Structure 1
Amino acid sequence: MALDPLPPLTALRAFDAAARHNSFTKAAEELNMSQAAISYQIRQLEDRFGEPLFIRNARQVILSEAGARLAPSVTEAFEIIRRGFAEAKGQRDDLLTITMVQTFASSWLARYIGGFHINNGDVAVKVDISSNVILDFHSSGMDIAIRSGHGDWPGLVAKKLFHFDYTVMAAPCFIEENTIEKPEDIMGLPMASPHDPWWRIWLEQQGIDAKGMAQARGPVLDVQYINGIAALSGHALALLTPALFYPELTNGSLVQPFDYVHREEKALWLCYPKGRENWPKVRRFEEWLFAKLDETMPNRRI
C-alpha cells in the first residue's frame, strides 16, 4: 500500500519554528525568510491538513488544538534529523557537551562529576564555561546548557535546579575578629563585590539604609564562586547561595551570621532543545544530576 506523500519540508520547517516561538515574525528571523513566506508555507500546510494549525491574534499566534497535536511530532522529527546529521559528521553519543555558569561548575559540578563517570564510563563530559544565553544549540555544538534566568526560553525544555537565594556568609575567623551581632554591624566591613546590587537588596530588606554602600570597600570579583573563596579565606563578607555552599556551612568553614535569606526569583535551569530528552546521554545525565542534587543540596529551594 502506497504511503501518503509527506508535506513539503519548507512548510514543516516554517510550522516548527512558528510553533516554538508563537510568532511568524520570529520564525521568519530564524529561517531567514520573510513573514509573508512563513504565512504562505503554513497556509499550504493547513490546506493539506484540513484545518487551522494556529489561532491568529493581533499580536501573536498560538497553536490551535490541531496544531498542538502536530507540533511535538514535527519537533521530534527535526531533532532526529539533526541528530542523525550531526552523528554522520562524527558527533558521537559517547561525548556530552554542556555549557554552564562558572559558579555552578566550580562550586558543585567539579565536586561530584566523578560519580557520573563511575557509573557512565562510556560517556565523556566536556564543559564550556559561559553565562550567555544560547540561541542556537545546533551551531554552538552544545548538547545541553545550565543557565540562570526565569526558564522562559522559546523552543527549549527548561527544568529548574534551584533558586539563587542568598545571604551573608563569612569565615569563623572573620566573625571572631569583627563584632557582628546585627545586620547594621556589617556596614563598613570588607565585602566581596560590594557594588553587587544583591548587597543593597539584602540590606534594605533588613530595614537598613543602604546609601553607605557607595563607600563600601572590598575586592570586585563578580563571580559568586570567587566571592565564596574570598569569604573562606577570611578576607571579606560575601553574599552567597546557601545551597551552593552547603558543604562549607555543614563543616563550619563558613558561617551564616543572620537567619534572613533573600528569596531570589531567578533560578538555575537545565535546558536543551525540545526532543533531546530522548537522547540517551542527555537522559542519563539528567537523571544523575537531579538525584545528586537531592543528595547534596537538601537546603535548595525549587
Structure 2
Amino acid sequence: MSLPPLAAVRVFEAAARHENYSRAAEELALTQAGVSYQIKLLEERIGAQLFTRKGRGVALTSLGKRIAPRVSEAFSLLGEAFSAAQAENEAVLSITCSRTFATNWLAERIGAFNLTKPSLAVRLHVSDEVVDLAAGEIDVAIRGVIDPGPGVVTHFLVRQIITPMASPEFLARNPISTPADLRKVTRLSPNDEWWDTWFASLSDGYDGAHDPGLRFDSQVLDGQAAIAGHGVAMIFPPMFPDAIAAGRLVAPFDHYAVEARTMWLVYPEHKRNLAKVRAFRDWLLPAIRESLGDDPLGALVHPKDA
C-alpha cells in the first residue's frame, strides 16, 4: 500500500490528539470543513472509519486509537530529524573562494572570525572555478566576477586594481623603464587576460602580445614566482601586502588598471537570514575595508561610483 497524502495524515494526527476538529483546525490554520475533508480523504484511502460522531464532537474508532500513537510518534521523529539537520547546518559554515584570496588574505584572518563565533565550524572550499551555489553545499562565495548572476544576494568587496610587479633583484638584472621593455623580460603567465587589460589601459596603445614565459594557473603562484625573482607578474597589490611592505615586490610603473571582474561576497537568497551567513557577512565587510587602510588605489570604490 502506498502512503496516504502527508497533509491528510498530519490533520489526522492533530484531530486524534485533540479529539476535536475545531481545535485541530485552529492548530493547523485550517477551516473545520478543511479538516473534515482531509479526514474523509484519509478514510477513503485506507477504506476504514477513523472517527465517529460523539455528541457535538468526535471520537476515535478502535482503528483510530490503534494507529494514532504511531502516527504521533512518526511526526515526532520527523521533527527530531529536521531539528537535528537544522542544528547541523547552523553549526558549519561552508565558504568557497579563490586560491589567492584564501592563501593571501583569508587564511591569516579567519581565526579572528572564529573568535567571534567559537561554536561555528568553518569549511573552506578553495577553487578558482565558480561553484554552483544552487547545489546547496556551499553557504557563501567570495568571487571575482563581472556579474554575480540572478538568484543571489551580493555585497561589493573590492575592485581589482592591477599592475606589473617584480622583485628588486629581478629588476636590477632586467631594467624596465617603459611598457615595451616588458617584451624583453620574462613575464609570468603572459597568457593571463590581466596583462591584456593592463596593456589596453595604456595611452600609448602598446598591445603587449602574449610572449613565451612561465605560466601558472593562479595569481598566488604568479606572485610567489615574482617574489622569487623568476619574472614580472600582474598583481592585485592588496593580495600581497606583506611582500610589498617588505620591499620584496615592487612596481616598475606608476600605472594601474581596473580588472573587469569585481570581487563580491555572494550567497543564495534563501540563506540570507541564516545566522551564520549574517555573522560572516558582518565580519568580512569591515575586515576587508580595514585591511586596505586608506585605500590608495581606490579598490574600495564601488564600480557604479567609479
Shorter-chain TM-score: which interval?
0.5 to 0.7
2:287 aligns to what SS in structure 1? helix
Q: Which residue of 2 aligns with 1:270?
A: 265
Identify which of 211, 224, 229 aligns with 1:229: 224
Deviating above 6 A after TM superposition, structure 1's stretches of 4 or more consecutive aligned residues are none
Identify which of 116, 120, 125 aligns with 1:119: 116
Name structure 2 gaps, 5 residues minimum: 1-24, 32-80
Cα distance per residue 1:38-63 (max 9 Å; x no partner):
xxxxxxxxxxxxxxxxxxxxxxxxxx
Q: Distance in 1 between matches of 2:269 and 2:136?
A: 16
Return the offset for 1:88.
Answer: 2.5
- Residue 137 (structure 2) pairs with residue 173 (structure 1): no
Moved more, 219-228 or 176-185: 176-185
Moved more, 200-209 or 100-109: 200-209
C-alpha change, 1:87 and 1:193, in structure 2 (3 Å) is farther
2:213 aligns to what SS in structure 1? coil
- Counterpart of 1:147, as a letter, is R
Name structure 1 gaps, 5 residues minimum: 6-83
Q: Distance in 1 between matches of 2:286 and 2:232?
A: 32
Identify which of 105, 109, 117 aligns with 1:108: 105
Q: TM-score scaled to structure 2, two decimals?
A: 0.66
Q: Distance in 2 between matches of 1:134 and 1:197?
A: 21
The structure that has the greater radius of gyration is 2
Identify which of 171, 190, 193 aligns with 2:189: 193
2:224 aligns to what SS in structure 1? helix
Asked if 1 retains the 8 angstrom alpha-carbon contact of 2:167 and 2:249, the reply is: yes
Q: Which residue of 1 aligns with 2:137?
A: 141
Q: Distance in 1 between matches of 2:266 and 2:99?
A: 16
| Count of aligned residue pairs for this structure pair | 221
Q: Distance in 2 between matches of 1:129 and 1:219?
A: 23
2:254 aligns to what SS in structure 1? coil
Identify which of 199, 208, 220 aligns with 1:203: 199
Return the offset for 1:293.
Answer: 0.9
Q: Distance in 2 between matches of 1:279 and 1:117?
A: 17
Moved more, 228-237 or 94-103: 94-103
Q: Distance in 2 between matches of 1:141 and 1:203?
A: 39
- Counterpart of 1:166, as a letter, is I
Q: Which residue of 2 aligns with 1:284?
A: 279
Q: Distance in 2 between matches of 1:205 and 1:273?
A: 35
2:103 aligns to what SS in structure 1? helix
Q: Distance in 1 between matches of 2:255 and 2:83?
A: 49
Moved more, 184-193 or 139-148: 139-148
- Residue 194 (structure 2) pairs with residue 182 (structure 1): no
Q: Distance in 1 between matches of 2:101 and 2:144?
A: 10
Return the offset for 1:158.
Answer: 1.0
- Residue 152 (structure 2) pairs with residue 156 (structure 1): yes
2:107 aligns to what SS in structure 1? helix
Q: Distance in 2 between matches of 1:136 and 1:205?
A: 34
Q: Distance in 2 between matches of 1:281 and 1:151?
A: 25
Cα distance per residue 1:186-221 (max 9 Å; x no partner):
22201110112222332243225336x34x232110
Q: TM-score scaled to structure 1, two decimals?
A: 0.66
Return the offset for 1:131.
Answer: 3.5
Cα distance per residue 1:159-209 (max 9 Å; x no partner):
111122211011111122221122222222011101122223322432253
